[in-house]
Amino acid sequence: MPLIVVMWIATQGDRVILSHLLSSQDLGVYAFGASLAGGLFQLGVAVKLLLTPRASRLFDQGRQDELAELFRASHLMLLLIYVGAVGGIALFGREIVGLTGGPSYAGSVPILILLGCAVAVDQMCGIYQTVFHLVRKPQWILAVQTVTAAVGALAVFLAARVGGGIGAAGAILGTAVVGNLACYAVSRSSRSGRC
């Protein structure tokens, strides 16, 4: 339950914060870009759901080389999926937004690209949370997500005051990178038994 609350703050907190800082039009543009980028999230969820049972079995059997290969293959697959998806958004963002939202949402294209990159980073690195499950330390997921959500909320607030919706999207991308680097570092120490 605590993780669900933290995840809600991480995924919806930006809009709550921005509702106090942006005009309704600017907030609508941001929310539209965020909604489209949210669809990319499901790509990573699907891969993780397919990956977890086999990863658990390999870990329990002590087959570390095969587990490492499974992680490498899933990273490559996610990389190809997200490069294609975000690349398509970068190339055809105006057309996508024009068809789905209309010309009044044209300003959401850069937001969509930045948030799409943030989702890609988060989903590609989300595999390291699987390590916490494998070593039976899921409390680390809550800890890392809580700190990341708090830092992200502060970053969104500060960046939105300076750069509006685009600044907030950039802050979310930066937080995704930093949070996932922390998650990677903790997962590496978990695998080596120091955690």
The contacts of residue 154 (CB under 8 Å, 6+ apart) are none
Give the count of beta carbons closer than 10 Å to the beta carbon of residue 44. Answer: 21
pLDDT-based confidence at residue 194 (cuts at 50, 70, 90) = very low
Query: Could you tell me which residue, 189 or 44, shows the higher pLDDT?
Result: 44
pLDDT score, position 157 = 93
| Residue 71: its H or E element | helix 64-100
pLDDT-based confidence at residue 195 (cuts at 50, 70, 90) = very low
Note whether 19 and 31 are within 8 A (CB): no
Q: pLDDT exceeding 70 applies to what percent of the chain?
A: 84
pTM for this model (two decimals): 0.78
What mean pLDDT do residues 166-193 have?
Answer: 80
Q: Pick from 70, 71, 72, 12: which is nearest to 41 by CA?
A: 12
pLDDT score, position 163 = 92
The pLDDT of residue 189 is above 80: no
- Domain ranges for the chain: 2-191
